[in-house]
Each structure stands twice: as C-alpha cells, then as structure tokens.
Structure 1
Amino acid sequence: MKKKYLGITYIVISAFCFALMNMFVRLSGDLPSVQKSFFRNLVALVFAFAILKKDGAWFSGKRENIKYLLVRSAAGTIGILCNFYAVDRMVLSDASMLNKMSPFFVIIFSFFILKEKIKPSQILIVAGAFLGSLLIIKPTPSIFQTPAALIGLLGGLTAGLAYTYVRLLGERGEKGPFIVFIFSSFSCIVTLPFLLFEYHPMNLMQIVFLLLAGLCAAGGQFGITAAYFHAPAREISVYDYSQIIFSAILGFFVFGQIPDVLSWIGYGVICAMAVLMFLYNNRKQEGVS
C-alpha cells in the first residue's frame, strides 16, 4: 500500500511537471515549434546521458531493436512538435487534454503492434474518449483554416504510438534511459537543420523559459518512470489526468484563459473514460488473480 501511494505521488508530480513544461513553452513566445522542440530535447538528452553513464544501461545489442527505436523516436518527435504547435495556439488545458488522448491510442496500437486483444468494453471506452475530444475540437468548416486542434489530436495519436513502442522495446530488453537517450538524440538531429536555416533570435528570457521547459520535461519523464516502478499502471495511470487540472489552473492564473462550457464537458467525458478504463483494468486483474 505504501508503494502504491508513492506511485500516485510520483505520477501526480510528473503530471505537474508536464503542465509546467507546456506553460513555459507558451511563455517562450512566438518561436517555431521546431526550435522549441530542439531545446526541450537537448535538456532531456543531457539528463539521459548522465543517467546512462552512471548506471551503464546501454544498448542491449539486439540489432532487430534498432528499427523499433527509430519508429519510437520518429513518432515521439512528431508528437512533441504537434503538442507544442497546439500549446501555442489553443487554451493550455485544451491542448493538454488532446495530448492526453495518448493512453487510448495505446490500446488501439497495442492491438495491431503487440497483438493484444481488445474487449468490446475497451472499444466503447475508446469511442467515448474520442467523442469527448470532439467537444474540445468543435469540428466546424473553420477548423480547416486553423487546424491547431486536429494537430493537437495528432500529437496525442503519435505519442500513443511512441508509448506502444516503448512498451515493446521494454519487453525486448531495452532500458528506459537508453530509449530516452536515443529519442532525444534523434529529435535533436532531425530538428537541427530546421533550427539552423530558420533560427529565430531569442532574448535571455526566452532561452530561460525553453531551458525550464526542458528541465520540467525531464522531471516529468523521470517522475512517471519512478511511478510505474513503485506501482502497476492499472492502479495509478488514471492519476496522470491530473495534468489537465494543473494546466487549467496555470492557464487561468498565468494567461487568463477560461475554457468554454463544451471544453469542460469534453474534459469530464475523457476523464470519465479514463476512470472507467482504470476500473475495468482493476476488475480484470482481480478476475485473473
């Protein structure tokens, strides 16, 4: 029970760190998403390298894992770029909520990639979450003129794909710090050419905000890793949605943002689906035991 409470504490801390990351990304101002992504991943790269050097958790040596590492890295990079694009153009809590569609996309991708069976109840929960996201996106003809919401949803989808491959790589013997290191290196290498050709000059505060965003991202990553070390996902994953509450609070006090009624209903629907999934997984586990 003590480990479960520690797991809950770590995952809530992780959610707060990711909410802070989005806030600092927004505060960094009118900069290209690629430029923001580079600095965010550069800090994570330094942290991951330090942990690898300390623990010696390098590549497993399995050549067949290389392609999975590349897919994970590409999907994660697209996810970050889409998330940052949405954060800059939407209410902070809306962008965070769309990014938090990733756990539901993991279920879908797990069916195709990991060959895990999906129960009818899981399909209904995923469908409910998607309907909740529509309340946030508010699909109208004008959405194609400013597609920030659709890009934010794409970020949640690609993040779900990335997390699925993280799970696959873990099953195939790769260590978490090495996966983070490869992902961060890949993202920095891919975004560097765009950064060099379309670099926007930054003042001191913008640099500080981006470095703080990277620091918070690293804290969020290590927090969620520690959380799942102390307790199984079925018991604590639902608490990851506390990021939406943190984002709404930060958006209100820092940016004066107030989500509309449909967005609040959408938050409620998606969080309700997360709770249902949490209860379903607990019930399923009890049936097995």
Structure 2
Amino acid sequence: MIRRRRHAEEPPRQLDGQGGDRDTPRRLAAILLMCVAVLCFACLDTCGKWASRYVDPLVTAWFRYMVSVALLSLLLNGWTRPRILHSNRLALQILRSLLLFGSTVLNFIALQYLQLTQTISIQFAMPLLVALLAGPILGEWAGPRRLAAIMVGFLGVLVITRPGTASLHPAMLLTVANTVCYALYAILTRMLAAHDPPATTMTYGGFAGVVLLTPILPFVWTTPPNLHVLAALAGTGLLGALGHGLLTVAHSRAPASLLSPLVYTQILWTTALGYFVFGDVPDRWTLVGAGIVIGSGLYLLSRERAVRAQRKG
C-alpha cells in the first residue's frame, strides 16, 4: 500500500516549440512504472500466499526481508555510504521498523486463510487511517468533508468483514491490525523524512526484519520441498525490492496526485491472480465493500488536490 499527503509542489509544465507538453512523456512513463509496481506488489502477495502452503509464514517473511536486504546492500552499504546507519531520530527509526515488521508478518499469516482480494480490500483503508491519525500525530487535521469520507470508508471495511456474523474470519482482524501498523509506519516515514536521508530509513526497515526473524527461524524452519517453493519465497523479496524501486522512480517523474489513484488498480491484479492461481472468486460483499473503500480514498485524493489548488490561488 502507498504513502500520501502534503506532497511537494508540482513544478510548472514545460512546453516545446509546437506548444506541446514536454512533461507528457515523463508522466506517461511514470504511470506505466506505477502500474508495474502495483503489479509487483500483487504478485508478491500471491507468491507469499502460495509459499505459505508449504512453509511457516515467518519463514516466508524472513525470505521477504533477506532477499530485499541482499539486493539493497549492493547499492547501499557501509562502503558506499559510510554513515548510512547514522540516524538523528534512532527511536523513531526503530519504532518504524517494528511497525513494518508487524505489518509484514500479519499480512503473510492472514494470507494463509483469506483471499487476496479480501486482504487488499481491507488494506485499501490505509490512506483513510493516515488521514485520520495525521491530526493527533502530525497536526494535519481533516476537515468535515474528509472526516465524512473516512467514516464512509470504514463502513466499507465493515461490509467486507461483517463483524457479528459467521462470515467474519479471525484472520480478517489480522489484516485490520496489519493496516493499522502500515498506516502508522507511513506516518513515521513522513516524520523521518525531515531528519534522516531515505537511504538510512530504507536500511533500517530492511535490516530490522532480518535481525528480528533470524533468531526465530530455527524454531519454525521448514525446508522448501522443491525449487518452485524456493523460487516463490525468493520472489517475495525480489518483487518487493523491484516494486518499491519502480515506485520511487515513478514519483520522481510525476506528482503523487497523478499516481496515487493508480494504487487501486491492484484490486484488478489480485482478483485475477486469486482466480487463476487459487481458484478464488470474491463474494459480492467483498466487492461492494472494496468499492466503498476505494471511492472514499479517491474522494480524499480529490479533496487534497482541491485544497492545494486553493492554497496556490
């Protein structure tokens, strides 16, 4: 899922000699990169869900972190960045890393029991939580219209989970907890941006998972039964690193206000992958709830865009 709010001002568009927009190719490339990044995240969850049929979810999470850290270390390490582990807000870095760790582990555990579409539909409430929590934590209070959109979005989550009925699987509560962890993680990421460079924040987030999971690994270890499972486990880390890399490049080429709505295309990929890989067909309540959550998120984005336009005016 993707961070948003209080983005940098969008630079003025450059026109070519014929009156065309020079930024158009960059924006189109950014849109393509964003769509591929979202596909990578959908494939990551698919690999994790499939691999967790054969190994413990904590093993899956360990591979997710270990492969990503190995790839990241090729670019970011103590030789190329001597002070990469130096943080001006070490306590915040540790707390952020713990939240990311909790979100990752909860997601892989929940995927053992839930459809891909169910988990991603609940996780789409993350921007709503960020908008709600940004008030008491960052002082960015949502207005009445945005608060109404947030409440409607949470109603969509209730439609998906249907508490008080036999349809409420306990794993849905894990996905809700995962979403809360990720929302707080996103807020701390924004807070740390003013104190530490992105390379330091990325390094702490990756190494924390390896440090926390490696001592537990001997107690939950199951040898992957074949190369297909091993490839899926490695794929979680590879797809995660690739997806976040593409995400970063996309945001360097186009404003987040243009790219953020594309996050919701992940529902298409997860529905298709869930059907073709696992034979899962989402029920109507999941689809209705997902529609409510997505609609609320898109409204929040439109309100933020309108507020920024008023401030510029």
**TM-score for both structures, normalised by structure 1:** 0.92
Counterparts of 2:205 and 2:107, CA distance in 1: 16
Q: 1:83–1:99: 8 Å Cα contact kept in structure 2?
A: no
Structure 1 unmatched ranges of 5 or more: none
1:44 aligns with 2:68: yes
Q: Which residue of 1 aligns with 2:224?
A: 202
CA displacement, residues 209-228 of structure 1 (integer Å, 9 cap, x when unaligned): 11011111111111222222
The answer for the alignment partner of 1:138 in structure 2 is 162
Query: Which of the two has greater helix per residue?
Result: 1
The separation in 1 between residues aligned to 2:32 and 2:282, in whole angstroms, is 27
Residue in 1 that maps onto 2:94: 70
Structure-1 residue corresponding to 2:84: 59
Alpha-carbon distance in 2 for matches of 1:30, 1:122: 43
User: What SS does structure 1 have at the residue aligned with 2:94?
Assistant: helix
Aligned to 2:195: 172
Secondary structure at the aligned position of 2:179 is classed as: helix
* 1:203 partner SS: coil
Q: What are the residue-to-residue correspondences of 1:117-156 with 2, within 5 Å?
A: 117-140=141-164, 142=166, 146-156=169-179
Question: What is the one-letter code of the residue matched to 2:132?
Answer: I
Distance 2:291 2:125 in 1: 13
Change (3 A) 1:91 1:185: same
Instruction: Give the AA of the match of 2:28.
Output: Y
Question: What percent of counterpart residues are identical?
Answer: 21
Larger Rg: 2
Match of 1:251 in 2: 274
Which residue is 2:206 aligned to?
184
Query: Offset at 1:43?
Result: 1.1
The aligned amino acid for 2:70 is V
Distance 1:128 1:4, change over 3 A: farther
TM-score normalized by the length of structure 2 = 0.86
Alignment length (residue pairs): 286
Residues 126-169 of structure 1: per-residue CA shift (max 9 Å, x gap): 1111111111112125467x411111111111011111111111
- What is aligned with 1:265? 288
Separation of aligned partners in 2, 1:60 and 1:35: 26
Is 1:35–2:67 an aligned residue pair? no
Q: Greater CA deviation, 13-22 or 162-171?
A: 162-171
Distance in 1 of aligned mates of 2:299 and 2:185: 23
CA distance in 1, matches of 2:222, 2:108: 16
RMSD, aligned CA:
1.9
How far apart are the structure 1 equivalents of 2:151 and 2:42? Answer: 26
Structure 2 residues not aligned, in runs of 5+: 1-22
